[in-house]
């Protein structure tokens, strides 16, 4: 055996002893492996079913057993589809449980495999029926996306109810930055991070045996020199560094080496808040990993694509909901005296005012009566909300409960003053009080729905509503819009935060 091999084996042995033995070596069974296997099995069933259904509908039942070539083609397509999902990293544990990237990767894999099928068909004249492709692609894609959503719901509910299927996190950093991260992770258990300890800078750890956040007591497990031992004692699976500059470049490298080859991941918080992955690029420069943060995509091709999706989406929804719009209009007119529509002044893109359409849900003169209800205001920040508002009509209570009063905003979307998804459309008096940070909400069109709508609506604190709007402005994408629209449907049905 060569000397280099002996040194490598000795180093690996030291690391195994330091972190608790061979049981901590990467490859040991974790919840993520089991979860990924379940998803892969479900994906295989859905893909197979989609191909078989498309074959039967397009060619009849006899098509499956009639031709060996057809059977080989079906089997090859199923295999290629499954491989595309794996090559596209749709089973990466880091995207499980939150965010739109998991759905984006599944959609990309689906369109990739059928795009390649179209190219192969064109080159080799296979004569693949277009009707078959037109059936298999949407059936399989929708089935896969729905399956991922259902699995995610199960995972999040499991985490919140039982605290299982969590990654144990050891946070390393200064007290301020570490506590900020710990607070967010504790308040969102569905993300799957269980904080098991904190390592503070030398001197700071001696002042605390533990830190309390709400009902949780987080033990302080030493300083930066004790990270390796703290991982072993806490059985952590993730080390989250929030103060890389305080730890130092050499210590960061040593720590990454110590965690190498073990079932312990290392993540570094960059210090920028609410910036999504698509805007972040890590590029090595002169041996240093530099974090490039792209500018938000307010213009160009993405803006044009969003405008097209808004216009066609609003047109289709207006056609689909035409009977509902007519029925609500008649009910509003019959129920109380006054106009059918209420047109409120709102501020939109680049601080330009516009008139927002809604079905009237209150009595005529409701704005003047607001002064008498100020003592019952339950709204967040500058918003005015009263749960049992006496100004709301009988029909108004029903249409507000299911957000039907907001359907006329589709005319605003069609006219270009609003978007399907975006920040909440603010009042002029709100905008006059905005500081420079909050004013970034005006860089995109306001939306009929948004992160604020699907995260609690009127029940949200003002600061959280603003943070969600800013997060959307900084990171919007077509896939995120699709996820928000889906969550909006659920929020409307459950009447979450609506009054």
Residue pair 170/238 in contact by the 8 Å Cβ criterion: yes
List pLDDT tens digits, range 115-145: 888 888 778 776 666 777 888 889 999 999 9
Find where tokens 């390649």 sit: 116
Task: List the chain domain ranges.
Answer: 31-162, 167-269, 301-494
Quick one: pLDDT at residue 187?
Answer: 84
State the DSSP code for 337.
S
Quick one: pLDDT at residue 119?
Answer: 84
Residue pair 380/462 in contact by the 8 Å Cβ criterion: yes
What is the chain's alpha carbon radius of gyration, rounded to the nearest angstrom? 27
Pairwise CA distance, residues 353 & 349, whole Å: 8
Q: Which of 83, 94, 70 is nearest to 43 (CA)?
A: 83
Query: Which residues have C-beta within 8 Å of that of residue 248, sequence separation ≥ 6?
Result: none
Quick one: pLDDT at residue 18?
Answer: 41
Give the chain's count of helices (H) and strands (E). 18, 12
| Cα separations in angstroms, 233 against 66, 307, 366, 370 | 62, 53, 62, 59
State the DSSP code for 294.
P
Query: Which residues have C-beta within 8 Å of that of residue 310, sequence separation ≥ 6?
Result: 413, 419, 420
List pLDDT tens digits, range 233-290: 888 888 888 877 667 777 777 777 777 766 788 888 776 555 555 566 666 666 666 6
| DSSP string across 157-223 | HHHHHH--S-EEEEEES-HHHHHHHHHHHHH-GGG-EEEEEEEPPTTTGGG-SEEEETTEEEEB---
Pairwise CA distance, residues 88 & 420, whole Å: 29
Pairwise CA distance, residues 164 & 156, whole Å: 10
Quick one: pLDDT at residue 143?
Answer: 95
Quick one: pLDDT at residue 273?
Answer: 56
Element (H or E) spanning 306, and its range? helix 301-320
Residue pair 264/231 in contact by the 8 Å Cβ criterion: yes
Q: Which of 362, 464, 441, 450 is nearest to 409 (CA)?
A: 450
| DSSP string across 87-130 | HTTTT-GGGSSSSSHHHHHHHHHHHHHHHHHHHHHHHHT----H
Virtual CA dihedral for 169, 170, 173, 177, nearest 10 degrees? 30
Q: What pTM value is reported for the model?
A: 0.66
Residues of the chain with pLDDT under 50: 1-29, 499
Candidates 3.40.50.2300, 2.10.70.10, 3.20.20.70, 3.40.50.1980; correct CATH number of 167-269?
3.40.50.1980
Quick one: pLDDT at residue 475?
Answer: 76
Query: Which residues have C-beta within 8 Å of that of residue 490, sequence separation ≥ 6?
Result: 454
458-463 long-range contacts (CB < 8 A, ≥24 apart) are 458/378, 458/379, 458/380, 458/383, 458/385, 458/497, 458/498, 458/499, 459/496, 459/497, 460/380, 460/497, 461/380, 461/381, 462/380, 462/381, 462/382, 462/383, 463/381
Q: Which of 142, 218, 168 is nearest to 32 (CA)?
A: 168
Angle, CA 472 vertex, CA 470 and CA 474 arms, to 5°: 70
Largest Cα separation within the chain, whole Å, is 94
Number of residues written out for the chain: 499
Query: Which residues have C-beta within 8 Å of that of residue 121, sequence separation ≥ 6?
Result: 127, 128
- The values of phi and psi at residue 126, to 5°, are -75, -25
| Cα separations in angstroms, 465 against 133, 375, 454, 469 | 43, 22, 11, 6
């Amino acid at each position: 055996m060569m000397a280099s091999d002996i040194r490598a084996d000795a180093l690996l042995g030291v690391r195994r002893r330091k972190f608790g033995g061979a049981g901590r070596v990467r490859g040991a069974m974790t919840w993520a492996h089991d979860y990924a296997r379940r998803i892969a099995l479900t994906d295989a069933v859905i893909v197979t079913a989609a191909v078989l259904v498309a074959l039967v509908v397009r060619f009849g039942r006899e098509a499956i057993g009639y031709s060996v070539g057809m059977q080989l083609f079906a089997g090859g397509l199923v295999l290629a589809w499954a491989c595309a999902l794996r090559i596209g990293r749709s089973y990466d544990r880091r995207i499980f449980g939150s965010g739109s990237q998991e759905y984006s990767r599944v959609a990309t894999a689906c369109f990739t495999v059928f795009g390649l099928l179209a190219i192969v068909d064109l080159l080799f004249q296979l004569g693949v029926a277009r009707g078959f492709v037109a059936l298999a692609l949407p059936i399989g894609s929708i089935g896969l996306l729905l399956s991922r959503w259902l699995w995610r719901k199960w995972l999040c509910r499991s985490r919140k109810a039982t605290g299982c299927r969590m990654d144990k996190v050891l946070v390393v950093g200064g007290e301020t930055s570490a506590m900020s991260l710990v607070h967010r992770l504790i308040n969102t258990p569905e993300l799957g991070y269980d904080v098991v300890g904190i390592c503070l800078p030398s001197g700071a750890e001696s002042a605390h045996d533990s830190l309390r956040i709400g009902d949780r007591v987080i033990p302080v497990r030493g300083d930066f020199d004790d990270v390796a031992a703290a991982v072993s004692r806490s059985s952590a699976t993730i080390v989250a560094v929030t103060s890389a500059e305080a730890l130092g470049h050499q210590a960061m490298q040593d720590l990454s080496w110590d965690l190498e080859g073990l079932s312990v991941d290392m993540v570094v918080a960059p210090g920028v808040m609410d910036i999504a992955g698509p805007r972040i690029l890590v590029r090595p420069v002169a041996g240093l990993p530099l974090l490039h943060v792209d500018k938000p995509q307010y213009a160009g091709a993405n803006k044009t694509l969003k405008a097209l999706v808004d216009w066609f989406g609003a047109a289709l929804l207006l056609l689909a909901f035409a009977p509902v719009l007519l029925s609500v209009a008649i009910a509003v007119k019959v129920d109380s005296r006054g106009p059918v529509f209420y047109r409120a002044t709102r501020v939109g893109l680049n601080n330009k005012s516009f008139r927002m359409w809604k079905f009237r849900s209150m009595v005529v003169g409701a704005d003047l009566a607001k002064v008498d209800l100020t003592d019952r205001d339950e709204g967040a920040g500058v918003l005015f909300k009263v749960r049992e508002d006496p100004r709301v009509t009988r029909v108004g209570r029903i249409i507000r409960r299911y957000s039907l009063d907001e359907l006329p905003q589709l005319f605003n979307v069609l006219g270009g003053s609003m978007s399907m998804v975006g920040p909440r459309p603010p009042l002029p008096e709100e905008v006059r009080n905005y500081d420079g940070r909050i004013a970034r909400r005006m860089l995109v069109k306001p939306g009929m729905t948004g992160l604020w709508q699907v995260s609690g609506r009127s029940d949200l604190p003002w600061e959280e509503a603003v943070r969600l709007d800013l997060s959307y402005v900084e990171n919007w994408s077509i896939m995120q819009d699709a996820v928000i629209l889906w969550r909006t449907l659920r929020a409307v049905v459950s009447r979450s935060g609506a009054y």
